[in-house]
Amino acid sequence: MQPLDIESIISGASEGGWDWFKQANERVKKDIDLKQKRAAEDQRAIASAWARFYNSPDGRKALEAMFDVTLRRAVYMATAGWDPATMATYGAFREGQNSLAHDIARHISAGEKEAIKPRDV
């Protein structure tokens, strides 16, 4: 069996299973492994940077203020007089804010080596 190029491997992955990976030549396997290791290192560095920022006096003040207006505030408030489209737009806007704040909190937790709770939403 002929080794596959990276594009063929990726398209084979969409079909499920792991047989497609066994067909990759060693260079491709090493490239994938190296990219995964670099991505993991980047994530650890980012998490550490967020944790250092949060643990600084200015960082804690800024992030706590952000968490107060996002994660610690009701996500979806129906205001009298709003039409359904406006309420839906506001809900999507607030979910976007919460998603970013949650991602930052997740990085801080990982940077501090705390257990990370999976997101409910």
Is residue 17 helix, strand or coil? coil
pLDDT tens digits, residue range 17-71? 667 666 777 888 888 889 999 999 999 999 999 999 999 999 999 999 999 999 9
Mean pLDDT across the stretch 88-111?
91
The structure tokens listed for 70 are: 């996002």
| Sequence ranges of the domains in the chain | 6-111
pLDDT given at position 54: 95
In this prediction the pTM is 0.66
pLDDT surpassing 60 at residue 106 = yes
By CB atoms closer than 10 A (0-12, 13-18, 19+), residue 107 is buried
| Close Cβ partners of 10 (under 8 Å, ≥ 6 residues apart) | none
Separation in Å, CA 74 to CA 20, 64, 111, 119: 46, 16, 27, 16
Query: Taking a C-beta distance cutoff of 8 angstroms, is the pair 70, 101 a contact?
Result: yes
- Which of 25, 53, 99 minimizes the C-alpha distance to 9? 25
pLDDT tens digits, residue range 6-17? 777 777 777 776
pLDDT tens digits, residue range 64-96? 999 999 999 876 666 667 888 888 888 888 889
pLDDT given at position 25: 78
pLDDT given at position 89: 86
pLDDT given at position 69: 92
pLDDT given at position 10: 75
